[in-house]
Structure 1
């Protein structure tokens, strides 16, 4: 099975007879023109020597990079966010980087620090972290030694770590490889076919720029911060539409999925409308 192809096929099936989310072709074409006029986002990559522990770091981060709020988007104990998670991870990792602490111990420390900061879904986060203990370092070492293609390590990821496999759209698995491109420039050719990590922010931007439109009931629910159930038809259509629109934007702009994702993500602060709320470990 080709996992990326399967994600696209599932997205097409959800959107074939969609009831809650609809694509707007003219809006997608206008967005592509806007992107080309504005230019690709640029990545500031470090010249520091890369080690397998840099890949371990991104693997651990991707395993828990989801849901930072309680009940509504702005209820975040101690300001929990992706940025704060990365900061906590960097602090937790320092002794491991210096070969002064085992991987298993650093995983426990990181989990404890997330608990102390009152991150949401903490039991799920601890479980996903623990899944990495047995084979996380070996997985990272294999990627460090051979990073020519995404297909094999993506399959290995979902076979070895159920937390990554549980999402029908494989968001955090996709994000892991995007992060390796952003930091190290790896997998550039494969990123022209990889699916976007469909989350909260990108559909919000696409809706604002008239690339997608929600039916009235779903639109009202998003405005009123009503929780949309994970794996419900509306939630799956939001994410499926996001994946298909970004695929089209990649084709029209000739950018890879990381560049399109970064461009759209950087537009999020221009928008007042809240993102859809789904309590999930998928994103």
Structure 2
């Protein structure tokens, strides 16, 4: 029998232990963190639903077939851009990533390029990239703070006027002023100020973003003063950066398991079509007739809260049906639903807001 030196055995045991710890951590981090900032804040809404019913059996039914689909994993900078350019562009995109449907005519903002129709945020993203390609550093604080309506209209020109243009200009000017005054105009300086975590005792990426740039502070205060946190654009920004750059190790968010879905107009459509949620007759009629639903109203808060809760539950059920090396996190499921339904003709709720 071959005997290994004690030092070799000890080294092997240490390596094996560390390997198991890493694998265990990866598996653990695929679990739904119901204590995370966003998901934990939903409880008072979910426990008192009036306008929406959650169909738990349908969550399991959908998971039975959805579990066997492929979900995109983080890419190794598939756009081949400089990682810092990816970060700057993604934060700019999510500063503007809201309201692409005309509130009176229910027509979506679209552009055509080479015979292909780009709709809503994809259209905006295309036009931002076109502007950057001209050499204009649209993401830089000095450029943003000096934008005027004429310049903005030249950037965003489509089948309709992009909704809420005056609000967009105000947001861009304010964000630009903050970047210029605090971070020499560069998002990279903001990113490098703290840890690569969403939450870290007030110093996390989301925590600092919503504190320093109020346009990202997406929350609702209930009648009893409890806060419900959504953070749609803040979360989406860092998911976009992580998804593009983590595969190559350029930018890895360490606590991605704390992220929820992104409460917008599209995911509720997917959930309703899949029969996971059912609207009350009154709410359903408002949606189908294109009636405006007021920001922070009970109906709007329920739609957004239920979207986040049920996508978390669906992710949980999907993972029960997948092997450990095929586990997914909530944003992957969100993207699957958004990609399938974002250009659908089925009506979605309409709320005038800059948060989604």
The alignment's TM-score, normalised by the length of structure 1, stands at 0.86
Q: Give the deviation of 1:272 after TM superposition.
A: 4.8
Partner of 2:231: 170
Structure 1 pair 141–96 and aligned structure 2 pair: CA distance change class (3 A): farther
Structure 1 pair 235–72 and aligned structure 2 pair: CA distance change class (3 A): farther
Q: Retained in 1: the 8 A contact 2:55–2:275?
A: yes
Structure 2 residue 148 is the aligned partner of structure 1 residue 105? no
Q: Give the deviation of 1:55 after TM superposition.
A: 1.2
Q: Give the deviation of 1:127 after TM superposition.
A: 1.6
Partner of 2:288: 223
Greater RCO between the two (CA within 8 Å, min separation 6)? 1
Structure 2 residue 107 is the aligned partner of structure 1 residue 74? yes
2:63 to 32, 43, 50: 32
Q: Retained in 2: the 8 A contact 1:175–1:197?
A: yes
3-state DSSP class of the match of 1:22?
strand
Q: Retained in 2: the 8 A contact 1:66–1:280?
A: yes
Structure 1 pair 172–198 and aligned structure 2 pair: CA distance change class (3 A): same
Q: Give the deviation of 1:140 after TM superposition.
A: 2.8
Counterpart Cα distance in 2 of 1:33 and 1:140: 42
3-state DSSP class of the match of 1:92?
helix
Partner of 1:46: 78
1:158 to 210, 223, 243: 210
1:88 to 127, 150, 172: 127
**What are structure 1's unaligned runs of at least 5 residues?**
none
1:198-244 CA distance string (max 9 Å, x none):
10100100111111111111111111111111111011100000000
Counterpart Cα distance in 2 of 1:55 and 1:267: 26
Partner of 1:58: 90
Q: Retained in 2: the 8 A contact 1:201–1:265?
A: yes
3-state DSSP class of the match of 2:53?
strand
Instruction: Calculate the aligned-residue CA RMSD, in Å.
Output: 2.9
The alignment's TM-score, normalised by the length of structure 2, stands at 0.70
Structure 1 pair 50–146 and aligned structure 2 pair: CA distance change class (3 A): farther
Counterpart Cα distance in 2 of 1:218 and 1:255: 32
Q: Provide the aligned length of Structure 1 versus Structure 2.
A: 278
3-state DSSP class of the match of 1:282?
coil
Q: Give the deviation of 1:148 after TM superposition.
A: 3.2
Counterpart Cα distance in 2 of 1:65 and 1:270: 15
1:258 to 331, 337, 345: 331
**What are structure 2's unaligned runs of at least 5 residues?**
1-34, 113-118, 221-229, 320-326
Q: Give the deviation of 1:190 after TM superposition.
A: 2.5
Structure 1 pair 210–270 and aligned structure 2 pair: CA distance change class (3 A): farther
Structure 2 residue 57 is the aligned partner of structure 1 residue 5? no
Q: Give the deviation of 1:124 after TM superposition.
A: 1.2
Q: Give the deviation of 1:132 after TM superposition.
A: 2.0
Larger Cα-atom Rg: 2
Q: Retained in 2: the 8 A contact 1:92–1:109?
A: no
Structure 1 pair 165–143 and aligned structure 2 pair: CA distance change class (3 A): same
Counterpart Cα distance in 2 of 1:18 and 1:184: 39
